[in-house]
Chains A and B, each alone.
Chain A
Amino acid sequence: MNRSVISASDLSLTFQTNDGPVHALKDVSLDIHKGDFVSFIGPSGCGKTTFLRVMADLEHPTGGSITVNGVSAAEARRNRAYGYVFQAAGLYPWRTIGGNIRLPLEIMGYSKADQAERVARVLELVELDGFEKKFPWQLSGGMQQRASIARALAFDADILLMDEPFGALDEIVRDHLNEQLLALWRRTEKTIAFVTHSIPEAVYLSTKIVVMSPRPGRISDVIDSPLPKERPLEIRDTPEFIEIAHRVRDGLRAGHGYDD
């Protein structure tokens, strides 16, 4: 069970901008194991999105190396090793919800029957059954985001990369989606990398919390969570939970070194 699924060593990425170089990532090393739920937390601009995009081969590191499923990120992308959930749902408005979820399946050449079966299954998973024929703009933001998660789950990728998927949603919807996501993770045993701004969200969801700090973007702390896999929402009131949350907060504060 301890196979390394994503392995970064001394990873650096510098963007050349008009205002000079921006060190989005500097000497980042991290191992993510099979079945881990890893959260990335840190102030905005600390390179969380960039790190996730490097894993997805959407961005190319300027130093160090990264492997995904034991091969290069580019090869992993060609192998369709991961599903990516963006910060915004990004559903195509000319396709129904069902059509959007079918999009990756069509591209990857799944049979018609298989497509229909998978669409029905993931819609149920995110509790959107009955909305298959609706268009994205007929749904609330939370439902759209759930559909985008379903889209990333529809094909057989055992890695899920999620960039602040619930960032724009209100607290109650967010709690509910967190519960659903956790249940889904337990059931599917996927490896999940999850970017968030919220300390409670990170602690509630993760087996491993990666605290990052900006300028240059780097990892300032990695916390392995002692919480059990089974986590009711009430776990957030337990002393263990609060203790981890404290440690995350301390890590964030130490990495900051200034106030803004």
Chain B
Amino acid sequence: MTGQPSLFLRIGLPLGFGIAVLVLWELFVVGFNIPRAILPAPSEIWAAIQRSTAILWVDWVQTVLKGALTGLLIGAVAGFVAALAIDRVDFLRRGLLPVANFVAALPIVGVAPIMVMWFGFDWQSKAAVVVVMVFFPILVNTLAGLAATDRMQRDLMRTYSASHAQTLTKLRLPAAMPFVFNGLKISATLALIGAIVAEYFGSPTKGMGFRISTEVGRLGIDMVWAEIAVSALTGTVLYGFVVLIERWVTFWHPSQRRGR
């Protein structure tokens, strides 16, 4: 319990900084009379958020809940399962890994239109883009984690004459968890970016990416910033949520041990 920064330091300090930045921003925009089309003041963005809550909510459900999170879930599970398979069957390591590597190198601007052709304009094609984006980081990190046990830990299992499945569940998977969560943290950020950007290549008349691109055209810059604010907040919360689960699952890891 000692040596832990207090609640004030951990939450109050960043919050204070954030508020200070907003205040300076407001003063800057008002003081120098910056045109709204260049940079709206925080108060104007806030007004836009209040004015358009219904639209923002619809966009959020479309892009975050349906596109990003569905894609993240499917991609993460697929990457994890593929890692288990590749780890078990050497033939897959030689065959599948290079293919996965190749797919990971595909640019999103190429993948997104193709997914729209395959899965239609709605959120399914956005989720598919996210799946492609997060699959590889999860796969690679899980594989690295499965290889992260040391010889003595494995020898111990051998002295017990443990089966492959027992060694996997009781040693290699727990040891892999810190790596898996590194992959998840990268993927959580990628998923949001992917789902928003993918909407630039065709979408129904809703979604955060759709809204940003159309509002830019209509010079509704305060609405663009409102969407940016919502996506930044969502990204932060999503990342924080993953970190929270990570702390709970890998409490034993040297980087997580605190207050125990």
Instruction: Give residues in A with beta carbon < 8 Å to B.
Output: 56-58, 77-78, 80, 82-84, 86, 88, 90, 92-94, 103-104, 106-108, 135, 137-138
Instruction: Give residues in B with beta carbon < 8 Å to A.
Output: 152-153, 155-162, 166, 170-171, 174, 250-254, 257, 260
The reply to whether B252 and A84 contact each other, CB–CB distance below 8 Å, is: no
A-B contact pairs, 13 of them (CB 8 A): A58-B158, A77-B158, A78-B161, A80-B160, A82-B159, A86-B156, A90-B153, A90-B156, A92-B170, A94-B174, A94-B250, A103-B170, A138-B260
The reply to whether A107 and B260 contact each other, CB–CB distance below 8 Å, is: no
The reply to whether A58 and B155 contact each other, CB–CB distance below 8 Å, is: yes
Asked, given contacts A107-B166, A137-B257, whether A92 binds B161 with beta carbons under 8 Å apart, the answer is no
Q: Contacts of A92 on B, CB cut-off 8 Å?
A: 153, 170-171, 174
**What's the nearest-Cβ distance from chain A to residue B249, in Å?**
9
Q: Which 3 A-B pairs have the closest CB atoms?
A: A93-B252, A94-B252, A84-B159
Asked, given contacts A94-B174, A137-B252, whether A84 binds B161 with beta carbons under 8 Å apart, the answer is no
Instruction: Give the interface centre of B155, B160, B252 by most chain A CB atoms within 10 Å.
Output: B160
Contact of A104 among B160, B174, B251, B254 (CB under 8 A): B160
Q: Which residue of B lies closest to A59 (CB)?
A: B155
The reply to whether B170 and A84 contact each other, CB–CB distance below 8 Å, is: no
Instruction: Give the interface centre of B152, B155, B159 by most chain A CB atoms within 10 Å.
Output: B159
Q: Contacts of B159 on A, CB cut-off 8 Å?
A: 56, 58, 77, 82-84
Q: Contacts of A104 on B, CB cut-off 8 Å?
A: 160
Q: Contacts of A84 on B, CB cut-off 8 Å?
A: 155-156, 159
**What's the nearest-Cβ distance from chain B to residue A156, in Å?**
13
Q: Which residue of A lies closest to B257 (CB)?
A: A137
Q: Other than A104-B160, A106-B170, give 13 A-B pairs with Cβ distance below 8 A.
A: A57-B158, A77-B158, A77-B161, A80-B160, A83-B159, A84-B155, A88-B152, A93-B253, A107-B157, A107-B161, A135-B252, A135-B260, A137-B254
Instruction: Give the interface centre of B155, B157, B174, B254 by most chain A CB atoms within 10 Å.
Output: B155
Contact of B170 among A78, A107, A137 (CB under 8 A): A107
Q: Which residue of A lies closest to B177 (CB)?
A: A94
CA distance A5 to B159 in the complex (A): 17
Q: Contacts of B155 on A, CB cut-off 8 Å?
A: 58, 84, 86
CA distance A77 to B156 in the complex (A): 11
CA distance A259 to B254 in the complex (A): 42
